[in-house]
């Protein structure tokens, strides 16, 4: 591959194991000895992956329709997801009038009066027809015999102070169920899989049945996933800062010296979030987060 400049967003099209391009170190031996972070691809560029070569890049959605409508899915035993990630992201989403935020639970009308299917079939049917253009998963991701599975809670009762009961129905959203329940997302959402190693693994099964790939196959516009385990506290903080950049943009100077707000693409927002945690906390773990769709997707005006 030829040397890239800083303005290029390299996009890799392949069905093989998604390589963690963000951690690729491009510098010289002296750069390595000095620990120059700008030589890491994830801090210098906005790399992205296309795991579905049959879908041309030009067919992907460029902008998220407005208003924003987020479905937030969590596992009720992840305290950071419940106490920090959910309220912070809800505040950011609701900051703009007309935007909507929904916690996965009784208000979602998954069951039409029936008991909710713990195997996730009702949930997939709901996702296909719902109006949400953002799906955020703050949960566990576990390896199963039929591909990875997201472990998410159906919250039937949330207290006045946002407290959730110790017991909640846990749904398993497995990759193979997307193949059993054919359909497409009505609103082509941004999907943020904020769970450990949600991008899949090195074995043959998880190369074929991985979460980013099946979400894109069924109509998601963009997907963010992790390449390795991520501590709950960091995951919650990282997601909050990402949405600040992605939903609100960043203040820059125009040609006349006046301040203006620049809307950031998903790739730019991820890169800015990685730099934020490296500069503020000397934490490089943001390199574990990658884009599994074109990096140019952004919020529409």
**What confidence score (pLDDT) does residue 40 get?**
93
User: Residue 234: is its pLDDT beyond 60?
Assistant: yes
In this prediction the pTM is 0.91
For residue 2, being part of any structural domain is answered with no
pLDDT in tens, 152-190: 998 877 665 556 666 788 888 988 888 888 899 999 999
For residue 5, being part of any structural domain is answered with no
User: Residue 59: is its pLDDT beyond 80?
Assistant: yes
The CATH number that applies at residue 24 is 3.40.50.1460
User: Residue 104: is its pLDDT beyond 90?
Assistant: yes
Examine residue 47 and say whether the peptide bond preceding it is cis (omega within 30 degrees of 0): no
Residue 208 pLDDT grade (very low, low, confident, very high; cuts 50, 70, 90)? low
- Kindly list the distances between the CA atom of residue 220 and the CA atoms of 38, 82, 125, in Å, as whole numbers in the listed order: 31, 25, 14
How many domains would you assign to the chain? 1
For residue 33, being part of any structural domain is answered with yes
Tell me the three state secondary structure of residue 252.
strand
Torsion of Cα atoms, 214 then 119 then 138 then 226, to 10°? -40
pLDDT in tens, 106-115: 888 776 545 5
For residue 118, being part of any structural domain is answered with yes
Beta strands of 145-245 (E only): which ranges? 147-154, 169-174, 190-194, 222-226
For residue 167, being part of any structural domain is answered with yes
Range of the domain at 238: 11-55+65-299
For residue 1, being part of any structural domain is answered with no
For residue 3, being part of any structural domain is answered with no
The mean pLDDT of 70-80, rounded to a whole number, is 94
For residue 6, being part of any structural domain is answered with no
Sequence-distant (6+) residues with CB within 8 A of 59 are none
């Amino acid at each position: 591959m030829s040397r890239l400049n800083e303005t290029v967003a390299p996009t890799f099209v392949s069905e093989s194991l998604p390589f963690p391009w963000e951690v690729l170190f491009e510098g010289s031996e002296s750069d390595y000895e000095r620990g120059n972070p700008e030589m890491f691809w994830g801090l210098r560029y906005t790399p992205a992956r296309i795991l579905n070569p049959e879908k041309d890049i030009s067919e992907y959605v460029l902008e998220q329709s407005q208003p924003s409508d987020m479905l937030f899915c969590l596992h009720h035993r992840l305290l950071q997801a419940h106490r920090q990630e959910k309220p912070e992201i809800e505040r950011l989403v609701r900051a703009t009038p007309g935007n909507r935020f929904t916690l996965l639970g009784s208000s979602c009308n998954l069951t039409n009066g029936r008991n909710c299917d713990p195997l996730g079939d009702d949930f997939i049917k709901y996702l296909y027809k719902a109006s949400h253009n953002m799906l955020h998963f703050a949960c566990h991701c576990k390896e199963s015999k039929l591909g990875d599975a997201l472990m998410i809670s159906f919250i039937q009762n949330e207290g006045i102070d946002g407290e959730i009961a110790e017991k909640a129905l846990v749904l398993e959203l497995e990759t193979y169920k997307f193949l059993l329940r054919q359909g497409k997302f009505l609103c082509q959402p941004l999907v943020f899989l904020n769970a450990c190693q949600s991008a899949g693994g090195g074995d043959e099964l998880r190369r074929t049945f991985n979460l980013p790939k099946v979400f894109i196959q069924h109509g998601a516009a963009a997907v963010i996933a992790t390449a390795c385990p991520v501590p709950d506290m960091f995951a919650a903080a990282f997601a909050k800062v990402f949405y600040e950049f992605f939903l609100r943009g960043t203040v820059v100077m125009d040609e006349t010296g006046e301040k203006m707000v620049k809307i950031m693409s998903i790739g730019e927002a991820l890169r800015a979030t990685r730099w934020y945690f490296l500069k503020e906390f000397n934490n490089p773990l943001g390199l574990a987060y990658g884009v599994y769709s074109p990096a140019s997707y952004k919020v529409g005006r």
